[in-house]
Amino acid sequence: MAEKPTPPWAAEIPEGAFISSAPTYPLGRYLERFHKDYFTASDGTKLKYYFFDPTEYGWPAKKDYPILIFFHGTSNSFVDDVCVNYTGAEMYASDEYQKAMGGAYILVPVANEYRDENGRVQGYWSAPYIESAHELVTSVIATRTNGVGTRFSFGNSSGARFVFRLADAHPEGYDALIPVGTADISSEEHIAEFAARDMYLLYSECKRDEFYKFDEDVVPKLPRLAAMKHCVIFTPDWVYNGDGGIASIFAGVEMGQHCLMNAVQSNLMFDNGTPMYPDVLPNGVTGWIAAVVAERRDMK
């Protein structure tokens, strides 16, 4: 077996740190909890999606569970049902995460990706999907839930960019955004609209993301986010796996620090139960979700 290449940032890791090559949460343990179905939008676009209903796992029927909507990164649709895991969604269907959030629906739309004659991925989440994806979200809420409370829109990489574009077009449709691993932040005008609507934002981007130049591509845009009342800007120095190691993923290129969504699926917690980033999110993502749900309930 060929030896894995050394990450370009390996010489920068803190003294005593080590490099970890894979997430430690299980892959596939909760996939059977997701129903697979298809939706055809008004423009004829047919989209596959996965859906988790907490009332099938001991939670009582009620009208205000939050819904977590996960948009995957480029090429993640090619792994069939495992796409649910790659979006970051699978562990949020676990009993532990559901308890921490007080129950939540989960929706995972899947883009119609394909490879062109040059092997490049096409059909990933981008502007042509905005209306069909929004119709899918609206339809699932109307037909497969008893009504929802807070609508959380997650996205990883190109899916994170899509989270912003979807909210730009339909700010009325989403209450909280969790884009992970993108520098393509909404314009000042759209951010002002989000703020006026009391939208929540958890913006997550590692300072050593292999696909972006953090100081050039991200830092100049952060002040517009900081102007939002309900905004957490989460820009860690390093992405960790649950075993405490600094994450390295080689998929033709090194992208371990780009894949911050893996840490988000770990709930930003190490395997020993301690928070990865105690100064920012001491109770992990599920804790932030639960706090947002409670705050929005108090606003009503």
Contact 41, 47 (CB under 8 A): yes
**Predicted confidence band at 1 (pLDDT cuts at 50, 70, 90)?**
very low
Percentage of residues in the chain with pLDDT exceeding 70? 99
> Does the pLDDT value for residue 297 go beyond 90?
no
Token pair in block for residue 140: 């699932």
Does residue 247 fall inside a structural domain? yes
> Does the pLDDT value for residue 121 go beyond 60?
yes
> For 119-143, what is the mean pLDDT?
97
Contact 70, 87 (CB under 8 A): yes
The label of the residue with tokens 């343990």 reads 29
Nearest to 292 by CA among 166, 176, 148: 176
> Does the pLDDT value for residue 281 go beyond 90?
yes
Q: How confident is the model at residue 151, as a pLDDT? A: 98
| Per-position b or e across 86-120, b if 16+ CB within 10 A of its CB | bbbbbbbbbeebbebbbbbbbbbbbbebeeeeeee
Q: Could you report the per-residue pLDDT of 188-199, keeping only the tens digit for each?
A: 999 999 999 999
Does residue 4 fall inside a structural domain? no
Does residue 14 fall inside a structural domain? no
Does residue 10 fall inside a structural domain? no
| Number of domains within the chain | 1
Parent domain of 152? 19-299
Q: How confident is the model at residue 143, as a pLDDT? A: 97
Rounded-to-integer distance, Cα 42 and Cα 290, Å? 34
> For 21-36, what is the mean pLDDT?
97
Nearest to 109 by CA among 82, 81, 137: 137
Q: Could you report the per-residue pLDDT of 50-72, keeping only the tens digit for each?
A: 999 999 999 999 999 999 999 99
Helices (H), the chain: 83-86, 95-101, 130-144, 158-169, 188-196, 222-226, 260-265, 284-299
Nearest to 75 by CA among 25, 22, 112: 112
| CATH code of the domain containing 258 | 3.40.50.1820
Does residue 78 fall inside a structural domain? yes
Q: How confident is the model at residue 300, as a pLDDT? A: 66
Does residue 2 fall inside a structural domain? no
